[in-house]
């Protein structure tokens, strides 16, 4: 099997999106049940997902070059996705770092507010990841683009 850069990007980019939501649900369950082992499992998931968000970002560049060279996508659509995914990636990295701090920094291990802080950060990251995924889907799926709508898909512009 011969994988091109776009294949590699598609293989890894779904992990931060769906994994972030799964880890968020695990953390919420752990908080509701006041289960330290479940909360710690969620922290480990977030650390793992942060690594994959970085990998997804790195594989995206190769996919971008391939799509532009083959004229399979337009630059503006790709750039909207790249901007959104960069923000989402760094937010997920922040969640991963906060999770690692909660696991390994003694001072944070005794603070009861830390799981809630990580939960709030992960909610933001999940929303940003979902937006990046939507914009990524628009690159190859013209049927989901919202070009004729008066509502902007990119509120940051």
Q: What is the pLDDT of residues 115-155, one digit of tens each?
A: 999 999 999 999 999 999 999 999 888 777 776 433 445 55
Q: Looking at residue 70, what is its pLDDT?
A: 87
| Higher pLDDT pick, 145 / 65 | 65
Instruction: Report the Cα–Cα distance between both ends of the chain, in Å, rounded.
Output: 40
Q: Looking at residue 125, what is its pLDDT?
A: 98
Q: What is the pLDDT of residues 85-110, one digit of tens each?
A: 999 999 999 999 999 999 999 887 77
Q: What is the pLDDT of residues 2-56, one digit of tens each?
A: 888 888 998 999 999 999 999 999 999 999 999 999 999 999 999 999 999 999 9
Q: Looking at residue 156, what is its pLDDT?
A: 54
């Amino acid at each position: 099997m011969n994988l091109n850069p776009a294949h590699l990007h598609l293989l890894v980019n779904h992990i931060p999106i769906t994994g972030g939501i799964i880890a968020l649900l695990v953390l919420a369950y752990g908080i509701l049940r006041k289960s330290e082992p479940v909360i710690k499992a969620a922290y480990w998931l977030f650390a793992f997902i942060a690594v994959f968000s970085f990998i997804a970002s790195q594989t995206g560049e190769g996919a971008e070059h391939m799509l532009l060279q083959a004229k399979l996508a337009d630059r503006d659509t790709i750039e909207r996705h790249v901007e959104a995914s960069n923000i989402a990636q760094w937010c997920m990295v922040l969640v991963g770092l906060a999770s690692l701090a909660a696991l390994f920094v003694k001072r944070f291990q005794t603070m009861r507010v830390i799981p809630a802080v990580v939960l709030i950060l992960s909610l933001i990251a999940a929303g940003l990841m979902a937006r990046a995924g939507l914009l990524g889907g628009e690159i190859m799926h013209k049927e989901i683009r919202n070009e004729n709508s008066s509502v902007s898909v990119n509120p940051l512009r």
